[in-house]
Structure 1
């Protein structure tokens, strides 16, 4: 029963596989966050670094599977809109979880300058994508990859590297009460202190493998359900597949905020976006035809700008650094939700 033939299965079968894969992602994602938090405690790694590099990289595995699959079958709109949809939805999830988990506005308890650096750089990469789609792309002879997609991939990787080391280079000093971690009584039982570092890494590898397999199942069955429902590739990629492949991010955001690790949550969201956007050259290389970004249009332009706008709202909140709440969430989180709703309505009309 190969998932590549999911479009030929009954809708109820695809729905059951989708729900089972979502359950695997939920359980594995929660464990992954706790294990990585334990590794950070044992090694002294910063929460932002753990969130951006480790959580961000591992939770991007479903997007890797979907980008390669969609591009190889000649559906670049599905591949790119999955990446852009995930970029916007990941930020939306951070806002939603802020209302359910946080006792204060999540941006009021984030202090590391690297978080703001990540936000600024992620906005730049998304705006670059919108600009290249508007201007057009050309193929690099002999490589089979467009100049534009290669530039986006290079910009995402460079931004990832620049943000990762920003705290060490920054002249800013962090003045905060405590370290944002729960007290010893609250943290008890959240991690397994008896596990060795090697044991924790093995568990991280297992969780990552489960998330990759479940993410692939989510993307394949989600695409099949959408096809059976008669939806377009752009909407499917942005909304359904983007939401499905963002399930690992939802689980890890919830777990990170419950552990009192807001830096890890932000690092995970923005790090995942960097990794996802760096996949564009891979999709371009697999796609047989003109430059991948040359096949895109106004839908993808608006998608990219929507993601940049949502990140920009949170960046304002990070700079303001005030605990202003509405509807049990930060004002900036509420604005993010409203803008996402408006942006989705615009996309539905394109």
Structure 2
């Protein structure tokens, strides 16, 4: 029964995640939020509702190991999602980073690295350093994310570089054009803004409930199979909550919006550490100082995988091997080695 609940919740997260993404795009286009700061914040929250639900549930239950492992393990898993998109979603056949290459994406990757660096710093602070249920690290991480969004919003309006920061020979249509296509398709089907908002709300509620159920049922089931809470949160749970990113990313790449597909992943990864603020407020104590060696290890793994893709965006590899660009192959290998190493770490 626990496994059935876990799989059913994963299916709900998959389906509701698709609806969330589609209605978010429709609403952001109709409310003129698509390229604005509000649109970036709405998208980050909407695409990470499973992680929000899991973090809140784990913090309420005092299971901070699952919450921290899901946040930091989720970053590594969602980065690997880019390899899935590279293998299955790119047409014509070329590495994803070659077609998506843009200085704005490089900046988004740098924001992920910067936020994760603050996470590592936060793990070294005293556990009793807090004020009004807030910890300095969680506040600084949130501030970094907001400042990063402001800078990215400015960068998205144009950079003082040739072709506005886009590489020559990249995707022919501008970034985000798939959102306009989704909005047009919704209009052609007679989907009103009110209906889109209702679907968004229903999908958000379903995702939140499914997120709690998948965390509770999954931890109990896989715990009985001998999988620790940290390893479960970093692998199985993180992979399950990354299902919507796979589906929506494939939709973007098949519509030729490669930059948006990568941006959604980087944007989600930059947002996930902000959930430490939520966990701190709910649990009533700083979360990061309780991090284990495995959590710091996962943070470093997320940084390494992100840097590999940043490098790919700069060098823009031409060839694919086994339907993957060399950067994606490196990410898959490094992730496999990293998870193997994770099993050897204690505490």
Q: Which moved more, 1:210-219 or 1:100-109?
A: 210-219
What is the correspondence of 1:91-240 to structure 2 with a 5 Å cutoff?
Answer: 91-103=79-91, 104-133=94-123, 135-168=124-157, 170-172=159-161, 173=164, 174=166, 175=168, 176=170, 178-179=172-173, 191-192=185-186, 193=188, 194-240=190-236
Superimposed CA distance per residue, residues 12-45 of structure 1 (whole angstroms, 9 cap, x where no aligned partner): x111122222222222333443444455666776
Cα deviation code 1:85-116 (max 9, x no counterpart): 11110010111221122132111121443222
Match of 1:341 among 336, 340, 346: 336
| 1:131-165 Cα distance to aligned partner (Å, 9 max, x none) | 332x3335345423322232223223332333233
Query: Does 114-123 or 27-36 show the bigger shift?
Result: 27-36
Following superposition, the deviation at residue 281 of structure 1 comes to: 1.7
* Cα distance in 2 for residues equivalent to 1:183 and 1:72: 40
After superposition, the Cα gap between the structure-2 partners of 1:129 and 1:319, relative to the gap in structure 1 and judged at 3 Å, is same
What is the DSSP-based 3-state SS (H/G/I as helix, E as strand, rest coil) of the residue aligned with 2:126?
coil
- Asked if 1:247 is matched to 2:236, the reply is no
Deviation at 1:329, TM superposition (A): 1.7
Structure 1 range deviating more: 116-125 or 226-235 = 226-235
TM-superposed deviation, 1:53: 3.7
Q: For 1:306, which of 301, 304, 326 is the aligned residue?
A: 301
The 3 A distance-change label for structure 1 pair 45 and 264 is farther
* Greater shift in the superposed pair: 320-329 or 174-183: 174-183
User: Alignment RMSD, CA only?
Assistant: 2.9
What TM-score does the superposition give when structure 2 sets the normalisation length? Answer: 0.85
- Which segments of 5 or more consecutive residues in structure 1 lack a partner in the other structure? 1-12
CA contact (8 A) 1:52 1:267 kept: no
Deviation string, structure 1 residues 184-217 (Cα, Å, up to 9, x no partner): 9xx7999332323443333333333332222222
Residues 74 and 234 of structure 2 are in contact (CA less than 8 Å); yes or no, is this contact kept in structure 1? yes
What is the Cα deviation at residue 120 of structure 1? Answer: 0.5
Q: Which segment is superposed worse, 258-267 or 58-67? A: 258-267
Deviation by residue 1:36-94 (Cα, 9 ceiling, x = unmatched): 44556667765797995444321211111111221222221111111001111001011
- 1:57 is matched with 45
Distance 1:150 1:255, change over 3 A: same
Contact kept? 2:297, 2:342, Cα under 8 Å:
yes
Matched residue SS, 2:185: coil
Aligned pairs, how many? 334
Q: Within 1, Cα distance between the matches of 2:194 and 2:175? A: 24
SS in 1 for 2:132: coil
Q: 1 CA distance for matches of 2:152 and 2:177?
A: 29
Task: Verify the 8 A CA contact 2:171 2:257 in the aligned structure 1.
Answer: no
In 2, Cα distance between the equivalents of 1:188 and 1:271? 20
Unaligned residue ranges in structure 2 (runs of 5+): none
Q: TM-score if structure 1 supplies the norm length?
A: 0.84
Which residue number in structure 1 is paired with residue 8 of structure 2?
20
Match of 1:9 in 2: none
1:76 aligns with 2:71: no
Do 1:56 and 1:270's aligned partners in 2 also have CA atoms closer than 8 Å? no
Structure 1 stretch displaced more, 299-308 or 217-226: 217-226
Which residue of the partner structure matches residue 279 of structure 1? 275
Q: Following TM superposition, by how much is the alpha carbon of 1:183 offset from its aligned partner in structure 2, in angstroms?
A: 11
1:296 aligned residue: 291
